Amino acid sequence: MPLRHPRLPRRRDPPTTQPPPSSTPDFKDSYRLCVVCVAGDERAVAVFSWSAETARWISETGAAALKVKPITAARLEVVTDE
């Protein structure tokens, strides 16, 4: 049995269904996603834009598509009163 702090609520899994696309305004076509890769002294930048035709993020060259996995994260730090 996993340990759980007595004051913390039990974990709830996020909903598995997404709202229908028509229920919220979609501004993806006005965004650009830039992916910067650094390996040693070399840098590479790829810029992706939303393609409504393919419903995917496509690179400027059209050679690659970007797979996006939405996640929720937090960075925690333990602070002591010293």
Residue 25 scores a pLDDT above 70: no
* Side chain identity at residue 74, one-letter code: A
Query: Which has more confidence, 1 or 49?
Result: 49
- Is residue 53 within 8 A of residue 65, CB to CB? The reply is no
What's the predicted TM-score (pTM) here? 0.52
pLDDT level of residue 13 (50, 70, 90 thresholds): low
Ranges of each domain in the chain: 28-65
Lookup: tokens for 5: 């702090």
Residue 23 scores a pLDDT above 50: no
Q: How far apart are CA 38 and CA 45, in angstroms?
A: 9
Lookup: tokens for 44: 């590479």
- Is residue 26 within 8 A of residue 50, CB to CB? The reply is no
Residue 10 scores a pLDDT above 80: no
Average pLDDT, the chain: 76
H-run or E-run covering 49: strand 42-51
